[in-house]
Structure 1
Amino acid sequence: MNSYDEFLAGNRHDDIVLFLSEHVVDEHSAIRNRALSVETGCVLTISGTRAQQIVEAAIGMGPMAFAKKAMGTRVHVDRELKDAACPSGRTDHETEFILAFSEAENQAVGGLYAQGPVIHAYTQCSCGALAADKWVADAPTETGVQPGSSVPVEEK
């Protein structure tokens, strides 16, 4: 299992994952050369110690600043972190990038956090809109925002 798959399974809490669409990252860039190629762009799994610098270079702001701006709106983010819905509901827009981190299961916090490790994902659409989603990694039942919705399952 590679670091990306380990992250998706909720096993790499010190790392972040950054998806960059093929429209955002040049095919000859240093970032793309270090990333896992996927059909719509590339995915980087970055150690937390290097995340600030790499994310800032890739998207123009630090990870926490981006997350704070995006967390006010909820949309469905693909569980493999390769795509997300546009917050405006448009289907002709594309995901520019997704930034994700995970938190370990935490019984004391309750809610989603008591069900297992939680993936937090923040996205930017090609129209510039920002949004977020979160879900339990490898959950037996779906959590988070589902396709076509803006309300997390656990809040319905």
Structure 2
Amino acid sequence: MTNAREEFLAGERPDDVALFLADSYVSDDRLEQFGDRVEDGVLIVVDGERGRSAFQAATGTQAMEFAKSAMDLEGEIDDELSSGDCPEATDGEEHAVQFVFAFAEEQNEDVGGIYAEGDVVHAYAKCTCGTAYSDRWNATNA
């Protein structure tokens, strides 16, 4: 049996969004009733509209505005959506993901590139240093 998180990461829920909220960013035990407890936080998968509203409520930022600002800087976001490597990290600095907003896009051969290869997960993260960055990958490769 698969759960919403596994289905989302496999690209099977293109109408939903995923939100990761780190414990260090939001400490509210009630969040666990809406998602899965993962290391260092909670990962929630919900329908797109509710997810965007939940993201704004938790972060104070509109989801698509955040995604637009984060897409200018590429970094690495773990395919489990709960951690990443901040592109602004330098030796000796502590960096950690505060939150992630992600959505899946269905395969589109007309667009080409990774979109022709399968469903694509788009992920946008905010680091404790304030840097917003993005990553994307084929769901089948996750």
TM range (shorter): over 0.9
Which has the larger displacement, 32-41 or 61-70?
32-41
Structure 2 residue matching 1:50: 3-state secondary structure: helix
* Alignment check: 8 A CA contact 2:45 2:51 kept: no
What TM-score do the two structures reach when normalised by structure 1? 0.84
Cα distance between partner residues in 2 of 1:39 and 1:52 = 23
Equivalent position of 1:8 in the other structure = 9
* Alignment check: 8 A CA contact 2:18 2:51 kept: no
Bigger strand share: 2
Cα distance between partner residues in 2 of 1:57 and 1:27 = 13
Cα distance between partner residues in 1 of 2:10 and 2:88 = 29
Cα distance between partner residues in 1 of 2:48 and 2:112 = 25
Q: 1:35 is matched by which residue type in structure 2?
A: G
Equivalent position of 2:121 in the other structure = 119
Deviating 4+ runs (over 2 angstroms): 30-33
* Alignment check: 8 A CA contact 1:87 1:130 kept: no
Equivalent position of 1:100 in the other structure = 102
Equivalent position of 2:78 in the other structure = 78
Equivalent position of 1:54 in the other structure = 54
Structure 1 residue matching 2:37: 3-state secondary structure: strand
* Alignment check: 8 A CA contact 1:26 1:32 kept: no
Equivalent position of 2:20 in the other structure = 19
Q: 2:58 is matched by which residue type in structure 1?
A: A
Q: CA deviation at 1:21?
A: 0.6
Which ranges of structure 2 fall in alignment gaps of 5 or more residues?
none
Structure 1 residue matching 2:77: 3-state secondary structure: coil
Cα distance between partner residues in 1 of 2:70 and 2:22 = 18
Which ranges of structure 1 fall in alignment gaps of 5 or more residues?
143-156
| Structure with higher RCO (Cα < 8 A, 6+ apart) | 2
Equivalent position of 1:87 in the other structure = 87
Cα distance between partner residues in 2 of 1:23 and 1:33 = 18
Report the count of equivalent residues: 139
Alpha-carbon RMSD? 1.4
Q: 1:18 is matched by which residue type in structure 2?
A: L
